[in-house]
Amino acid sequence: MCAIMGFSKKTLPKEAIGEYFDRTLSRGPDMSRIIETPSGYLCFHRLAIMGLTEAGMQPFQLGDDFVVCNGEIYGFRAIKRKLSEKYEFRSGSDCEILLPLFREYGLSMFSRLDAEFAMIIYDSMSDSLIAARDPIGIRPLFYGYDSAGAIVFASEAKNLVGLCKEIFPFPPGHYYAFGKFVRYADLTTVKSYSTDDLETVCKNIRTKLIAGVDKRLDADAPLGFLLSGGLDSSLVCAISSVVLGKKIRTFAIGMDTDAIDLKYAREVADYIGADHTEVYMTREQVLDSLEEVIAMLGTWDITTIRASMGMYLCCKAIHEQTDIRVLLTGEISDELFGYKYTDYAPSAQAFQMESKKRVDELYMYDVLRADRCISVNSLEARVPFGDLDFVRYVMSVDPKLKLNTYNMGKYLLRHAFEKDHLLPDDILWRQKAAFSDAVGHSMVDDLKAYAEEKYTDDEFERLRKKYDYCTPFTKESLLYREIFEKYYPGQARMIQDFWMPNKAWEGCNVDDPSARCLANYGESGR
């Protein structure tokens, strides 16, 4: 991870920028630089992952153009070889190819990238900033307008608090140029479905996921793997172990009293021969970390905050106790293949529309959680299920095949790897448990109990009415909103809504986002 920031005008003196930019120093603790452009500033905090020497430090410059990028450009070596016929490169950084690409292709360069990125380019021809974000929004970017009306871009909303009256998430799959946002990529709008049969679909899922994992194993810094014991992270770990051909380092976390997933994570680690570490968290740690986690996340959403507690504490232990810099994770599988609640989808088209909605909104929920929990601990996240080719293909699969008519959620993904025996059968066919539940049901129960103790019924009714946007509906949600407002006053609209199952579907009209509230939860959390 790195942190970037860009100012289109010099509304502030250069020496005043540090107050805002250094709020995300943990994203890039290795080296920092702020440069002046003729009209504004570009800022960069570096976490060295590719091209570890000082030559890889940004901003990169080509002529009078500059770029700062928080990203990984997959397949950059082949692109670099071709560009080397015309351009000279000084580092091993993947991001050094960006300005030559901009010189060659202009604004069409963004649709050519196989990457997760947020970048800001200073274009000398127009004396203006151009910004862009990857199609899923895996890398964060926000923007706002300062007191002089100048646009300011930043990796996190916290950089802009006090600087911009209103803070907006930069829309994924868009670039900003010459005062306008333009969509350059749309992964989820499917004009016609693939005609592949089930076996062909599963074969392609297998091939494309392996490719997505493989390209994310390219790093000059040490790699680690988050392993929950669920299907998604277990597959990423098992594939990585085979591709690398060596022992990998895996990490799992659970409550000290009733951790559900630790036993499954241990089983997977033993099966694939991983160097495995278990991290335990206590009720006291969860409650003591709550405010810090919400301040870090920049959200008031219930399920995002719950799921962040374990991930944050696990990554904190990794940062403090190891030399690992890059973590592979299992996010983005649920949005593509289904949650527990999508078992209730009333039709194939309803499933497809729900999947589209969830992928389009990932940047506000699971992707936000993974980025902040990992980056605040000076680590980089890589998400194989977010591979662009993989996402495009799975979204194009006929949703009739994705519906749970198999008495087993995510059947396509499971069947795709059934013959490989990469995982024990009881893991490959294990029912899904939500991460915030699987670290231990007691964690969510502790958070709810803490909120119940904090407010009387009268206080809850009085305080929640202060918020006319996404009004808190439980004491837990009020607690989170009040902490959020302390750090991001008046910025609640950065998040679209509470993440909840689709209440319009029969069986899904619940008052809590936990899958435990669904009738089909069954054996998931045991």
Domain edges within the chain? 3-183, 198-447+496-517
Number of other residues whose CB lies within 10 A of the CB of residue 350: 17
Give the integer Cα–Cα distance in Å for 175 and 517. 40
Residues with a catalytic annotation lie at 2
Reported as a single tens digit per residue, the pLDDT across 354-409 is: 999 999 999 999 999 999 999 999 999 999 999 999 999 999 999 999 999 999 99
Average pLDDT over residues 142-152: 96
Give the integer Cα–Cα distance in Å for 189 and 364. 19
- pLDDT score recorded for residue 34: 97
Residue 397 tokens read as 């699969």
Domains 3-183 and 198-447+496-517 share a fold: no
Among 3.30.70.141, 3.60.20.10, 3.40.50.620, 3.100.10.10, name the CATH number for the domain at 3-183.
3.60.20.10
- pLDDT score recorded for residue 146: 96
Q: Helices marked H in 168-253 — which ranges?
A: 198-215, 231-244
Examine the pLDDT at 172 and tell me if it is beyond 90.
yes
Number of other residues whose CB lies within 10 A of the CB of residue 43: 28
Residue 187's identity, in one-letter code, is L
Strand, coil or helix: what is 411?
helix
Strand, coil or helix: what is 237?
helix
Output the 3-class SS for 160-177. CECCECCEEECCCCEEEE
Examine the pLDDT at 523 and tell me if it is beyond 80.
no
Residues 6+ apart with CB under 8 A from 149: none
Residues 6+ apart with CB under 8 A from 353: none
Q: Which of 121-130, 177-186, 482-491, 511-520 has the lowest mean pLDDT?
A: 511-520
Residue 72 tokens read as 């990984």
The residue among 405 and 522 whose pLDDT is bigger is 405
Average pLDDT over residues 321-343: 96
Q: What angle do CA 426, 427, 429 make, to 5 degrees?
A: 70
Chain CA centroid to CA 224, Å: 16
Confidence of residue 525 (pLDDT cuts 50, 70, 90): low
Examine the pLDDT at 478 and tell me if it is beyond 80.
yes
Q: Are 161 and 487 in contact (CB under 8 A)?
A: yes
**Containing H/E element for 177?**
strand 174-177
CATH topology of domain 198-447+496-517: Rossmann fold (3.40.50)
Give the integer Cα–Cα distance in Å for 302 and 484. 12
Confidence of residue 432 (pLDDT cuts 50, 70, 90): low
Output the 3-class SS for 242-285. HHHCCCCEEEEEEECCCCCHHHHHHHHHHHHCCEEEEEEECHHH
Which letter does DSSP use for residue 138 in this model? -
